[in-house]
Amino acid sequence: MTTGQHQDYMQRALELAAQGIGSVEPNPAVGCVVVKDRRIIGQGFHQRFGGPHAEINALADCRNHGFDPAGAMVYVTLEPCCHTGKTGPCTQALIEANVGAVVAAVQDPSDKIAGKGFDQLRQAGIDVTVGVCEAQARRLNAPFFKFANTGRPWVIAKWAQSIDGKLSWRNPPVDGNWISGSKSRQDVHQIRRRCQAILVGVNTIISDNPRLTVRIPGQSIERQPLRVVLDTHLRTPIDCHLTTTAEAPTLIAASEHAIQDNHDKAAAFREAGVELLPVNPCNQNPDLPYLLTELGRRGIQQLLVEGGPTVLSSFITQHLADELCVYIAPLLLGQDGIADMASALNVSAIPKLCDVKINTFEQDIKISALLSDDFIRTLLDPS
């Protein structure tokens, strides 16, 4: 089979894998295509966290359509797993199906696998090829690769702004303090769905009193993300939505000094089920690298930062953000707007953008991009 044909089948597997984004996290999104006699006889993808993996679904699809996968070539976007977790090992299923060859886009970086799946397949006499469409496969599961390599979450910095860079109204209209339109806000909930935590600063809690939950009409959300508040001085109101709604867990990152000095308030938060995490300041600001390490230790693979200019610019200028999602509304707020993002980013330490994508939601423009650093460059160009 030619290189071009290999790539065509892998492209189909990548398209399938992308359908799982938002439902499989913190697992990687994986797609699989089974080819025999130069035709696709089965295909599948990992559809939900805890559910069958892509290879299992693709093999089942073969059999459901009356095809025998014996001797077939299997294209998969990530190395097949070789351990028993929530499901059985995919390597064993492929061996028992007597497939002839496996073509994988990339090796799984996690310690449990990391080449062991390929070894099992080769020991069973199955031919293994690795590296077809590797850069695309890495990009598709960038958060998974970063977490496996660093132990820290993939950080998405998201905001909505007017054309002149204002994130909020000085005097909000009756229908709310929205900058972007309803379609953009619906898209934000899709991003929230793939994240395991959402972070804002205390000023956002005080001014907007958000719920910070995933709300998608017609869909039940099994696992709401952790709500994280940067609040050095423990100013979060005890009666805010984060403490009065039990639909999602909440963590407040405050200084140890503030927690001790506000003993009664701290006790009330704990009574309400809110966790207080001591995060001491670094140069008068929260120690963000420490916080990211702590969130990673808790298994947070993707973190969505939705704060105001101060919080957002802190992540960006400290080179802690990996991805931007910016919604630009057709508004010029001028003196009617506050929270100027352009002013907050008026420093020299701004990383460059790469892999830029532009979409529209009604009248809004969404710009998403990766923030280029050594890890991102290696991710996109593994050679």
Q: What is the DSSP string of 288-315?
A: HHHHHHHHHHTT--EEEE---HHHHHHH
* Pairing of the two strands 154-161 and 323-328: parallel
* Active-site annotation holder among 15, 25, 55, 306: 55
Triad 255, 258, 259: Cα angle to 5°: 90
pLDDT of residue 380: 64
Q: Are 25 and 192 in contact (CB under 8 A)?
A: no
pLDDT of residue 253: 96
Considering only CA atoms, which of 180, 205, 201, 216 is closest in space to residue 326? 180
Bond prior to 26 in cis (omega within 30° of 0): yes
Residue type (1 letter), 274: V
What SS3 class is residue 109? coil
CB atoms within 10 A of CB 14: 23
pLDDT by 10-residue block (mean), the chain, 383 residues: 82 96 91 94 92 92 92 95 76 91 92 86 92 93 93 97 94 84 95 96 93 90 93 95 90 95 94 94 86 96 95 93 96 92 79 92 96 72 64
pLDDT of residue 80: 93
Distance CA 236, CA 277 (A): 14
Query: Bridge-partner residues for 35, per DSSP?
Result: 40, 73
Q: Are 78 and 106 in contact (CB under 8 A)?
A: yes
Q: Which two tokens stand for residue 96?
A: 């028992």
CA 377 to chain centre: 18
- Say which residues have a Cβ less than 8 Å from residue 219's Cβ, sequence separation at least 6: none
Output the pTM of the full model. 0.91
Distance CA 328, CA 179 (A): 8
- Say which residues have a Cβ less than 8 Å from residue 125's Cβ, sequence separation at least 6: none
Considering only CA atoms, which of 17, 75, 68 is closest in space to residue 41? 68
Using CA atoms, how far residue 291 sits from 246, 259, 264, in Å, is 23, 16, 24
Distance CA 372, CA 364 (A): 25
Q: Which two tokens stand for residue 140?
A: 């598709």
- Active site (annotated) includes residue 55: yes
Considering only CA atoms, which of 342, 367, 29 is closest in space to residue 187? 367
Whose tokens are 């352009």? That residue is 342
